[in-house]
Amino acid sequence: MVQHIHPLQLKDWLEAVRGHGNPVVLDVREPSELAIARIKADGFELITMPMGVIPPRLSELDPDQPVACLCHHGARSMQVANFLKARGFSHVANVTGGINAWSAQVDPSVPRY
């Protein structure tokens, strides 16, 4: 089952899963979206990989590493999280509300679009 975490819960989730490997936030938005708004890696590795290229690039991700998926509002990242979970990734979460919620709850300097 994929966990749903709100942006304010990400730090706690990262600490909880740290014993399972270095956690990753996987931003699955398109390059044009990344040009508008990005989060800063703080206590995690940030990987940007658009949703559409994840299947052919799956081998670049470690199924033993905890992964929190992020997109604009949470729909695409939920699809990616389910995809990863179905392929044996053991610790997967979806950041509910995406970068839009991140801007509202964590870092208002991140532009909303």
Residue from 15, 17, 107 nearest 65 by CA: 17
* Buried-state track 57-86, b at ≥16 Cβ within 10 A, e below 16: eeeebebebbbbbbbbebebbbbbbebbbe
**Which tokens hold the place of 48?**
């940007």
Catalytic residues: 71
AA letter at 5: I
